[in-house]
Amino acid sequence: MNSQKSNVTRLPAAVLKKSCIDVFTAVGVPAADAEVIAETLVLTDMRGIHSHGVIRSARYIDCIKAGGIKPAAELQILNDSPCAVRTSAAGGLGIPAASKAVEIAMARAERHGVAVVTVNHSDHYGAAGIYAMRCADRGLVGMSMSNTCPLVAPAGGAKATIGNNPFSYAAPGGKYRAILFDICMSVVASGKLIIAAAEGRKIPKDWILDAEGNPTDDPNEIWHDAIMLPFAAHKGYGFAVMVELLSAVLAGSGITEDVKSWNLVPGRDADTGHCFIVIDPEFFGGLDEFKKRTDLLIDRLVATPPAAGVDRVRYPGEIEFGREADAEKNGVPLPDSSVGELRRAAEMTGVKLDF
Amino acid sequence: MNSQKSNVTRLPAAVLKKSCIDVFTAVGVPAADAEVIAETLVLTDMRGIHSHGVIRSARYIDCIKAGGIKPAAELQILNDSPCAVRTSAAGGLGIPAASKAVEIAMARAERHGVAVVTVNHSDHYGAAGIYAMRCADRGLVGMSMSNTCPLVAPAGGAKATIGNNPFSYAAPGGKYRAILFDICMSVVASGKLIIAAAEGRKIPKDWILDAEGNPTDDPNEIWHDAIMLPFAAHKGYGFAVMVELLSAVLAGSGITEDVKSWNLVPGRDADTGHCFIVIDPEFFGGLDEFKKRTDLLIDRLVATPPAAGVDRVRYPGEIEFGREADAEKNGVPLPDSSVGELRRAAEMTGVKLDF
C-alpha cells in the first residue's frame, strides 16, 4: 500500500473511512452519520469518481464551520403515505439525509412494489449513483437524482439558469452484479476541461460558453465562470428539467437560482433537493426472473461487434465495478488533490491521520 | 380548411378522427379502442409529430391483416398490487393497451401517491408523450416509455442491438399548461436524415453508421439499413438501457432482438413492452403548490438570455402546445405522406373518407 504512482496514492479503504469518520465527528456530526458519509465518499473513490469522493470532505467541513450546514440535523418527515414520502434534511448534510431517504424508499418499495421519497432543504449529496446502487445491491431498481445551483444553460440560452442535475439508475443482475448509470447534464464534466487546459488543447465549440455567453474553444474559460452546455442540446436540457421537477418542484426545495452554491457560499443554506424512485421486481414477476433477464440484456449488449478502434462494447457500470473490485484488492487509488483535501479537513478539525 | 400549402393539407380534427375510427372498426377493432386510437393519432399530428400520427394507420392495419396484431385483444392483468401492476396487451394494438395501462396507473397514483404499470406482449404505442400528457392534464406527473426492435448501436458498437427506445415525461403547470418532453435515443430522428438526403447535404459523422458499421456522412444510408448512433454516446446508450430495463426486463416483454419490427415483419408478434410511472403531487405538498412552482421554473427558464441567433429560450413542450392550439383553431396540418397512408388504410378496409 501507500505506493505512489504518477500522483496517485493507494490507501486501504478502512484507513480512509476511519479518517473521514474522525474529521466529521470532530465537527459535531453524529457517529452514525459520519460513518455513512465515510462509507459513501470512499466507495465513490473506489469506483473512480474522484470528483465526488473524499476530496469533498474539507468543503463539507468548510460549510459546517461557516454555518451553511447543520452537522447534527435530523431528517424530518413532512408528508407520509405508504409509498409516497416527502422529507426535509432540515439544513443538514446531504449524504446522511439522502441515505436515510433512500432507506425509507427501499423499505416502502419492498412492502408496496414502488415508492417515491423526496428530500428538501438539503445540500450536496455526493455521487448520485451511490444511492441507486444501494437499491440494486438489495435486489431493487433505483433511480436517484438531485438538483444543483445553476451551472448549465438551457438549449438556446446564454446564461447558466439550471443545475447540472445528476441522474442515476441501477438495476440488479445475476451473474453480472448490476447495471449502473450515473450522469450529469453537461456535455462534459469540468474535469475534462481541466485536462484539456493542462494539455494546451482546444475543445469543441459545443462544450461550454464563456461567462458572457459566447461560444468558445478555450478550456481555460472553466477558470472564468464558463457556462456548461447541456448534452445533446434539448435532450440534456429536458432531462435537467425533469430532475428539477422531481427534486425541487415536487420536493419543495429551492428551484434553480434559489439553490445556493455550497462551493461559492459555504455559509448559506443551499436548499438542495433530491428524489428517489424505487421499484421492487418481486411485484413484477419476481427478482430471480428479473436478474436472469438483466443478464440476458447485458449478454446481448456486450456481444455487439465493436466499432473501429474500440476493443469491446461495455454495459453501463462495468468500468466502475471493475475499479471497485481493484480498489478492494489493491487499495483505493487517490489523486494528490483528494489526499490534499482530506489532509486539509484533518488540519481544520485537529484530527491526526493514520497515513 | 382543406387549403393546400407546400404539400400540407389542413383537415378538421373531427373529420380525421372519424376516418380513423372507421378504418379501425372495419378490421375488427372494438369501437372504444378505435376511438382512443383515433384520438391519439390525430392529437399527435396536432402536436406536429407527423411521424407518429395518422401516417401509422395503414401500417397498423397491415399488421392486423397479416396476423401480427390481434385487433380485439383485451388488456390482461398479470400481477396486481395497489400501486404496482403488470399487464399484458395479449398481442393486441399498442395504443389501446397503453391507454388502458396509463389509466390504471393514474387511478392508482391518485389513491396511493405513486404507481408503476407495465405492459408486455404489445406493439407500437405511437408517441410516448401522449400518455405522459394525459397524466399532466389530470394534474399528475407522468413518465412513459417503450422499447422497440433494435435500431441503435450501443456506445462503441458497430451494430444496432438496442431499440431507439422512446422516453417521455410531463408535469402540470398553472398559467402554463405543462412541461412535456418526448425523445428517442438516437442523435437525430430518421426524418432529419431524409431531409438532408433530399437537400443533397452531408451529415455529421456521429449521427449514423452505414449497414456495415462504418462511419458515414451520407444521409442516403438511411435507405440502406443505416445504424443509428445514440445521442451523447454513453448517455443516450444508458437511457436506452434504462427504458429496456423497465419496459422489457421488468415488464416481461421481448428484450432487444426478441422485439420484432412491426414495419419489416407485420405478420410477427412484436412483443413490445411499455412502462408508466405516475406520481400525484397531492401527496407531496399539494397540486396547487406544485403548479405554482412549475410556473416559477418555466418563468425562469424562458427568461434566460438567448444565445446569438436564437430569438428566445423555450421550455420543453412549448412548441408542441403552440402547434396543438393552432391545429384546434385552423385544422390539423397533414403532410401528403400522412394523407396518403390514411387513404391507403381506407382503401384496404373499404371505408369512404369524408375528404
- pLDDT one digit per residue (tens) for chain A, 355 residues: 333 345 899 999 999 999 999 999 999 999 999 999 999 999 999 999 999 999 999 999 999 999 999 999 999 999 999 999 999 999 999 999 999 999 999 999 999 999 999 999 999 999 999 999 999 999 999 999 999 999 999 999 999 999 999 999 999 999 999 999 999 999 998 888 988 998 999 999 999 999 999 999 999 999 999 999 999 999 999 999 999 999 999 999 999 999 988 778 888 889 999 999 999 999 999 999 999 999 999 999 999 999 999 999 999 999 999 999 999 999 999 999 999 999 999 999 999 998 8
Which residue in B153, B157, B279 is closest to A116 by CB distance?
B279
* Domain ranges within chain A, ordered by starting residue: 4-186+230-285+321-349, 187-229
pLDDT digits (tens, 9 = 90+) for A163-174: 999 999 999 999
Distance of residue B35 Cα from the nearest chain A Cα, in angstroms: 30
Residue A299 makes CB contacts below 8 A (sequence gap 6+) with none
CB distance A242–B181 less than 8 Å? yes
Interchain proximity A241–B306, CB inside 8 Å? no
How high is the pLDDT of residue A4? 36
Enter the C-alpha cell of residue A239.
432531462
Regarding pTM above 0.80, the answer is yes
B153, A307: Cβ pair inside 8 Å? Answer: yes
The catalytic residues of A are: 124
Report the sign of the C-alpha dihedral through residues B185, B191, B193, B195, in that order.
negative
Catalytic residue among B50, B52, B121, B124: B124
Chain B residues with CB-CB distance to A161 below 8 A: 300-301, 303-304
Indicate yes or no: CB of A238 within 8 angstroms of CB of B316. Answer: yes
Of B113, B118, B305, Cβ closest to residue A213: B305
Helix or strand run (H / E) with residue B272: strand B272-279
Fold of A4-186+230-285+321-349: Ribosomal Protein S8; Chain: A, domain 1 (3.30.1370)
CATH class of B4-186+230-285+322-349: alpha beta
- Shortest alpha-carbon distance between residue B161 and chain A (Å): 7
Closest CA to B257 of B157, B152, B108, B145: B152
Gap between the terminal Cα atoms of chain B: 11
Among A1, A57, A54, residue whose Cα is nearest residue A25: A57
Q: Which of A112, A241, A307 sits opposite B179 (nearest CB)?
A: A241
Taking the C-alpha atoms of residue B280 and residue B114, their distance in angstroms, rounded to an integer, is: 6
Torsion angle in degrees (nearest 10) through CA of B252, B256, B261, B267: -50
Question: A187-229 has which CATH code?
Answer: 3.30.60.50
Query: For the purposes of burial, counting CB atoms within 10 Å of the CB of B51, is it exposed (0-12), middle (13-18) or buried (19 or more)?
Result: middle
DSSP state at residue B139? T
Task: Give, for all 355 residues of chain B, the pLDDT tens digit.
Answer: 333 345 899 999 999 999 999 999 999 999 999 999 999 999 999 999 999 999 999 999 999 999 999 999 999 999 999 999 999 999 999 999 999 999 999 999 999 999 999 999 999 999 999 999 999 999 999 999 999 999 999 999 999 999 999 999 999 999 999 999 999 999 998 888 988 998 999 999 999 999 999 999 999 999 999 999 999 999 999 999 999 999 999 999 999 999 988 778 888 889 999 999 999 999 999 999 999 999 999 999 999 999 999 999 999 999 999 999 999 999 999 999 999 999 999 999 999 998 8
Asked if B297 and A86 come within 8 Å (Cβ–Cβ), the reply is: no
**Closest approach of chain A CAs to the CA of B84, in angstroms?**
5
**Nearest C-alpha in B relative to A209:** B307
Contact assessment for residue A57 and residue A23, using Cβ atoms and an 8 Å cutoff: yes
For A179, residues 6+ apart whose C-beta sits below 8 A from its C-beta are A136, A169, A170, A171, A173, A294, A297, A298, A315, A316, A317, B241, B245
CATH superfamily of B187-226: Hypothetical oxidoreductase yiak; domain 3 (3.30.60.50)
- The answer to whether the Cβ–Cβ distance between A183 and B235 falls below 8 Å is yes
